[in-house]
Structure 1
């Protein structure tokens, strides 16, 4: 009975809506360094999957299934860095849906399988949405001292259960179709459940990805 209940929870954990294509293109906002000395660090902005080829959103999620969705960021510098900011691109959320808190997590990526491994952050990081409007939301995570490995990392969001344990909640995360399969999902906090079959695109070689931005600081090489 418990297995059947969990399967039903997962099947109802996410609802995706497609709207008419828009002609605009999104890019991460330029954000200057605040607490990291620019003489010692170089800021790098990653925006994989942010080009808006179609207006797409993950409209509702069932948080009771502990649904987690993450985007892989490749480290193009090949050097370890420090994660500074995460940018979430959220769609307009329906008025009848309660807004849930979002938990942010960061994972090492397995170089062999490409799947997330152990968690990089040691503390819980929670973002509380305060608006139902469409927009970008910057979350500063510098104080958590999260490593950005040379192998890259997966940045995920998880919708946390509400006090009333609602079966459908917001906010709605924006999605786009992109040439790389970068998005992984799982449920029930099970590390064996990570999969990259999250795809609503009907075009061959084009995949659906979550719209998330990332800012990283890479330590400059010292000059002898």
Structure 2
């Protein structure tokens, strides 16, 4: 069997990815399929960290957040990511995939606090480490958390799993002629204001020379193909 291109990855999952076709919450069939894709690359010997978003849970609260203090709203969003992390861990437990949840906010009754050394040790042991609560700070997105945690634990690449199979010249849903970038530089993504990640995360990856791949988690086998270094999604490089 061909060796994977990457030994240690940081997977960024949006909360919306767990919704499937539902309007909010967690679609069990969808989360089970995502976990099966993660388990496949873990069996190949790839060490996997996961940063999870909270949009699927926080979505229903967002309209009510108008006029709310931004820091308060962001902390609420962080708690939503912890809920998603626990759901993801439970789905992994059901198929016998070992995982640990670490959170940037101290919620020791349900998860470990984030400790870099322990996270690295878990990865080396073959456990999936799920990082909840973003960076633990308001005003920073889970995109930035994925870039930060990826660098801290020595990941070789950040993989952003979305509903779209890469970065396009335009919205492929409204423009059938939109072309998918096979690869592009961070500077191009920032200058063209392409919807890859938020600007802070892009700048962090660029400055630390951390490559990024954007792909669809809804395409069967896409995660494995990205890990194997095949032409899947869009690669963003320094």
Task: Confirm or deny a common fold (TM above 0.5).
Answer: no
TM-score, normalization by structure 2: 0.29
Higher relative contact order (CA 8 A, sep 6+): 1
Higher strand share: 1
TM-score, normalization by structure 1: 0.30
Higher helix share: 2
